C-alpha cells in the first residue's frame, strides 16, 4: 500500500516524497513498487529501457541486477538493497520498470479499457 498522503506519481515530487519517508515507509514503498511491477507484467527485456529512463549508469548496482536473470527474482534483490544511495537508485529504477511495463500492458492487454489505477500516473508534477 502506498503510504497515506503520498503522491503516486513517478515524477520528481514522488522522489522527493520517497526521500522524506522513514526507513520503514521506504521499505513498504519499495515492496509496493515491486508488486506493481509484477502486476504490470514486467519482463526481462524491460531492463535496458528502464535503466535509461531512470537515468542510471549500466554499472550502478540496481542496473546491473535488473539485467542479470529473471526480472521477478532481480526485483526482489533490488528492493533489498540497503545503502541509502543504492535505495535511491533502486527507487528510480522501479518507477521506470513500472512505466515501461505499464506502457506495454496498456497497448497489449488494456487497450479496450480496464480499472488499473497506475495507468493514470503522470510522469510530471
12-32 pLDDT per residue, tens: 567 788 888 998 999 999 999
Q: pLDDT class for 118, splitting at 50, 70, 90?
A: low
Q: Taking 80 as the threshold, does the pLDDT of residue 11 lie above it? A: no
| CA atoms within 13 Å, Cβ hemisphere of 50 | 33
Q: Are 101 and 40 in contact (CB under 8 A)?
A: yes
> What does the chain come to in residues?
125
DSSP string, 15-50: HHHHHTS-HHHHHHHHHHHHHHHHHTT--GGGHHHH
Per-residue pLDDT tens for 40-80? 899 999 999 999 999 999 999 999 999 998 999 999 999 99
**Per-residue pLDDT at 43:** 94
Q: Are 54 and 20 in contact (CB under 8 A)?
A: no
CA 99 – CA 93 distance, rounded (Å): 10
Q: Taking 80 as the threshold, does the pLDDT of residue 90 lie above it? A: yes
Q: pLDDT class for 3, splitting at 50, 70, 90?
A: very low
Amino acid at each position: 500500500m502506498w503510504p497515506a498522503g503520498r503522491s503516486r506519481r513517478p515524477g520528481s515530487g514522488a522522489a522527493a516524497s520517497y526521500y522524506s519517508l522513514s526507513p520503514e515507509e521506504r521499505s513498504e514503498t519499495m515492496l509496493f513498487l515491486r508488486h506493481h511491477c509484477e502486476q504490470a507484467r514486467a519482463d526481462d527485456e524491460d531492463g535496458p529501457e528502464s535503466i535509461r529512463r531512470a537515468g542510471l549508469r549500466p554499472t550502478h548496482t540496481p542496473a546491473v541486477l535488473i539485467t542479470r536473470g529473471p526480472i521477478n527474482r532481480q526485483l526482489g534483490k533490488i528492493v533489498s538493497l540497503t545503502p541509502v544511495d543504492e535505495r535511491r537508485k533502486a527507487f528510480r529504477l522501479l518507477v521506470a520498470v513500472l512505466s515501461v511495463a505499464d506502457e506495454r500492458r496498456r497497448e497489449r492487454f488494456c487497450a479496450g479499457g480496464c480499472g488499473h489505477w497506475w495507468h493514470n500516473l503522470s510522469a510530471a508534477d
